[in-house]
A and B are shown apart, each in its own frame.
Chain A
């Protein structure tokens, strides 16, 4: 209850700001229309009009909410107009990409921690990989994969993995390296093998890092999947909704797709948060 009030207050505050900007930004169009028609409009008429435009510069929150409701609850989920349908297309690519990215990230981290050559040889490339704008890279990945017969889910998942392996590998390198010298010495006094050091010490001690990395990684995966949908000609998925929306000036559709993907990301991150809380409490990390 203590946190509920501030949360509601912040939400309301954001709503008010959003409504304010909608009114200001959309009023230009209202005034232009009135000018062209040669009629005078009062302030209240302008205000009313900015809330109900077909193609507003910035849709009002309730327009987006209605659109969201309409495209999720009121449509069959198999319909191409259903946001659930598009959401699922994007989600499946996100999850596959997240899985590949996490696996790759952890494997790289294991290699980097155990092998000096990999530390010096691979780490710079991992960092360099993220300085290339994904928007420039995505079309090339899709074209290259298409030429070897891969289209649809897999190329999107690969772009998504490209973004999500990074936080996981960097986070897990830090996690695997965080045992202090005494903890390492302790295992040395038991003449523990490297694999035992890994499983008994490095893995459990890095779990808090893992969950943090996964949260960043899954959000990046979603971005990757959406970006991966843009150059394919906008067939299906949240990215496609964004693209068709911008082709036809359907701002309400764009914003509802945006909010939809934000809700999806929040759900994914929230789910990882739950697993994190459960696991770390059971392991005695949380007090």
Chain B
């Protein structure tokens, strides 16, 4: 299948200057993400997976190498609002209702009043939060808040969705549920998703492509193309293929992992 490259990184590196010594957060990262891919970045903490995502989002800037997003620099892509970003914490504004929070990017981007309402209704339905428009964030559970933040990232219809451990703080059951919903959403919207996680089952369950990273310096050790079909019921996790892929990820993580 010949798909358009959405994100391309070549020899990407980032060195943070800190007081005592420079820290090499990323080194020689090469990555191709095609349209419609669901890519997971997995690795131990400190391996630069969040940093890589932030570079794609132009929230951090590489010190070496090249990266393009939709054929542009990340900065240009950000100014063109090419992606929606979901943070680790839901980070909803407490003074805005759920609908108000989802409307926030639309207000900033200057959508008309009616279109705003239409879009808010649409994405809230998409994340199964219809009926909660006028609730304040603190009136919702953690899982629901995170769904609202996903709705917010979807509301302006960017083709790329960048997600930084969005379900990291949630319990297993809620997490499974949201994983399922996310897959369904991905199939329906055909977005390109770049997903940071440190859970092997989550990465294998969701992804078409798993990027295994190691720390100090943050490097890509292995890129695993998942053989799993696009339709994935939860019990696919007990299948032979799933377990094999998970095994492969685990081995990749273990061989590269060091605490030196």
What residues make up the interface of A, taking CB atoms closer than 8 Å to B? 180, 182-183, 185-192, 196, 200-201, 204-205, 207, 283-285, 287
Contacts and interface: CB of A to CB of B under 8 A. Distances in A.
A191 B89 CA distance: 20
B136 A189 contact: no
Interface string B108-124: 11000000000000000
A182, A189, A196, A207: residue with the most chain B Cβ atoms closer than 10 Å = A189
B85 A186 contact: yes
Given A191-B78, A284-B97, A186 B138 contact: no
A182 B241 CA distance: 38
A191 B79 contact: yes
B225 interface: no
Size category, B interface? 20 to 34
A264 to B, nearest CB: 32
A281 to B, nearest CB: 11
Interface of B: 57, 59, 78-81, 83-85, 87-89, 91, 93-97, 104-105, 107-109, 136-138, 156
Contacts of B89: 182
A189 B57 contact: yes
Contacts of A190: 81, 104-105, 108-109, 156
Nearest to B84: A189
A201 B107 CA distance: 12
Contacts of A284: 94-97, 136-138
Contacts of A191: 78-81, 108
B169 to A, nearest CB: 13
Contacts of B79: 191
Contacts of B93: 183, 201, 204-205
Given A189-B57, A192-B108, A284-B138, A204 B83 contact: no
A182 B107 contact: no
B160 to A, nearest CB: 11
B95 A283 contact: yes
Given A200-B104, A284-B95, A287-B138, 15 more contacts: A182-B87, A182-B89, A182-B91, A183-B91, A183-B93, A189-B57, A189-B59, A189-B78, A190-B105, A190-B109, A191-B80, A204-B93, A283-B95, A284-B137, A285-B94
